[in-house]
Structure 1
């Protein structure tokens, strides 16, 4: 078996996705900081979970080479 380039590239994409979410949430931090604490908590919890959604197809692609 020859090593697949998909796994290292997929790991790079996962790190890029995390960085993108961090930049987006960080750019709104001043606005979020003015909200009540419970609303802030809800926003940060949702943002912490949302980045996981694209991982399933990406991990499937890394393993099989197919998106579906």
Structure 2
């Protein structure tokens, strides 16, 4: 017996997109200060901010919930 599409996947996808959008707005709102830094420091900051959102937001649990329906 196959299971049809689960509602967790579209809801989870929308939640991830919303969280990513909020994270981008938060990081971009720092641009007046970050823009004054040397270019290499800015590059490191934006790379770190791009990687950090994976740890700061519950991406692993969200993806697991989307796939299994459980948080843990």
The answer to whether the 8 A contact 1:21-1:51 is kept is: yes
The answer to whether the 8 A contact 1:7-1:62 is kept is: yes
Distance 2:40 2:68 in 1: 41
C-alpha displacement at 1:26, in angstroms?
0.9
Following superposition, which runs of at least 4 residues in structure 1 exceed 3 angstroms of deviation? none
Gaps of 5+ in 1: none
Distance 2:19 2:46 in 1: 16
Residue 40 of structure 1, aligned match among 34, 39, 42? 42
The root-mean-square deviation of aligned C-alpha atoms, in Å, is 1.1
Aligned length: 68
Report the TM-score, using the length of structure 2 for normalisation: 0.85
Report the TM-score, using the length of structure 1 for normalisation: 0.89
